Structure 1
Amino acid sequence: MRSIAIDIGNTGTKYGIFEGEALVDQGYFENRQQLPPQLLHQSFDHAIVASVAGDTQFIKTRLAVSGSFLELSAQTALPVRNGYKTPETLGADRKAVAVGAHYFFPGRNCLVIDAGTCITYDFTDSSGQYHGGGIAPGLGMKFKALHNFTGRLPLVQQTENAFSLIGQTTEESIRSGVLAGTLAEVKGIMAEYLQKAPDLVVILCGGDAGFFETNLKGRIFVIPELVLIGLQRILVYNV
């Protein structure tokens, strides 16, 4: 089966092309109204599209799919049990990482930390039940907030994984506050989950996963393609 999984996020769109279970190609584009040429010249047996940021119709009308075209929604059947109290509000990316985590680590308690525009925490237990988690501002959002909601603080970009804990300029102090503060937040949340599930598997994904991989200690699995793989597993479950 040749399939494609498309994840429309807050800042851009990722796609993964699968041959059976194998991820054979992937890419990223920002223009939500125009597919990249390399996708327009291919055909697929099945497709799944998930969006946290708007309409998926432009993909459906332009992509060549001979079989099922699945738009992930609250009604889509999942290969994990959904224990979220308001399933209709649960983001597509959070469903996907829960499914992906259970696929890679069946029979284990899993915490996925997806470090993107937002930092999300999603817990799936060893029996395959998704419970929920948390949503917090991501690194980029925090930098922008300090600039946008103050009169004089500059907009600071995160340019590297290393930073000084004791900032000796305003920019260094902002970087320390955001990066050290977020690391402390993530460490604290991980510790709380470990109290609930001592055998916990922690998985990192998202655009800022590299920063946390570098600066967090302990055994952590980094799976950058977790959302795409989770979407593909949902697709397989439904066709």
Structure 2
Amino acid sequence: MNFVVDFGNTRIKAALFDGAELQHSYVYNSVQGLIEGLKEMPDFQNCLVGSVTGMHTEFIKAIKKGKNVILFTATTPIPLKNLYKSALTLGSDRIAGSVGAFRFYPNQNVLTIDAGTCIKYNFVNADNEYLGGAISPGLPMRLKAMNEFTHALPLIETDKTFTDLIGANTKDSMLSGALTGAVAEVDGMIDKYLLNYANLQVVLTGGDSDYLGKQLKNRLFANQNLLLYGLNTILNYNLEK
């Protein structure tokens, strides 16, 4: 049994896999919650940890001795050719999501869109080469930036029921700019990739994928556990080496 953990900026996601098949997935708000969860979890032999924070250290120390634990870093072998020019600065979440997309769409042009704290675009071509992509602010970050970098605009929460184009007051104008604007951005990025790459598959994941997926005009495949599938694929790839 494999156990994979993704330490994100806002949440910790984890999953148990039997080979390539997902058995259980978990979401935690703290490292302590994850450590406590280990007590009630089925036994596993292998573990891969991906982290964009420093919170993973305490978790790795808490795992029982005898487990095969791998910390996913820029030097960990992956089943893709990484052509990113600054591979040492590439976030583990970006490459894990891309490997997850590769798991479902090997030998195809695949654009992965991870809508979390930031909206991350990652592209793998039909030769299974990771080329890179783009990073832009996520939905809450857009609203927070308007408050922090202006004198008068208030701090407001993301409202995932909002779909208006025209804001009739300041709050709704900010929501339109941040949310409706993000939808237009994502659709525009997909359109640009479609113009450049034939038979493109688009995969959407991340905490705000539920909102974006309902608003986008382009057809795509949504998978909330894409990064976990990617981490497990990387783990199995290393176990087989």
CA contact (8 A) 1:44 1:66 kept: no
- Name the SS for the 2:171 alignment partner: helix
State how far apart, in whole Å, the 2-side matches of 1:205 and 1:194 are: 19
The residue type equivalent to 1:140 in the other structure is P
When structure 1 is superposed on structure 2, of 64-73 and 215-224 the one drifting more is 64-73
Q: 5 Å matches for 1:1-239?
A: 2-33=1-32, 35-42=34-41, 43-64=43-64, 66-239=66-239
Classify the secondary structure of the residue corresponding to 2:103.
Answer: helix
Unaligned runs of 5+ in 2: none
Instruction: Report the 3-state secondary structure (helix = DSSP H, G, I; strand = E; otherwise coil) of the residue aligned with 2:78.
Output: coil
State the secondary structure of the residue aligned to 1:14.
strand
Indicate the SS of the match to 1:54: coil
Question: Is the CA contact (8 Å cut-off) linking 1:98 and 1:123 kept in structure 2?
Answer: yes
How far did 1:86 drift?
A: 1.0
* Distance across 2 between alignment mates of 1:110 and 1:220: 11
Aligned residues of 2:4 and 2:231 also touching (Cα < 8 A): yes
Letter in 2 for 1:236: N
Larger mean CA deviation between 16-25 and 32-41 belongs to 32-41
Letter in 2 for 1:189: M
Count of paired positions:
238
Contact 1:7–1:13 (Cα < 8 Å) also in 2: yes
What is the RMSD computed on CA atoms of the aligned residues? 1.4
* Range 115-124 or range 173-182, more displaced: 173-182
Q: Distance in 1 between matches of 2:2 and 2:47?
A: 5
**Superposed CA offset, 1:102-154 (max 9, x none):** 11011210000000000000000111110000111000100111112222211
CA distance in 2, matches of 1:151, 1:65: 54
Percent identity over paired residues: 39
Give the drift of 1:65. Answer: 6.2
Aligned mates of 1:154, 1:8 — CA distance in 2: 30
Task: Tell me how far apart the structure 2 counterparts of residues 31 and 114 of structure 1 sit (CA, whole Å).
Answer: 21
Aligned to 1:44, what secondary structure does the other structure show? coil
- The DSSP-based 3-state class of the residue aligned with 1:48 is strand
In 1, Cα distance between the equivalents of 2:71 and 2:93? 13
- 1:85 is displaced (CA, Å) by 0.6
Specify the code of the residue in structure 1 equivalent to 2:17: F
**What is the TM-score of this pair, normalised by structure 1?**
0.95
Distance 1:171 1:150, change over 3 A: same
SS in 1 for 2:130: strand
**Alpha-carbon separation, structure 2, partners of 1:170 and 1:36:** 43
Partner SS, residue 203 of structure 2: strand
SS in 2 for 1:219: coil
Q: Which residues of structure 1 form unaligned runs of 5+? A: none
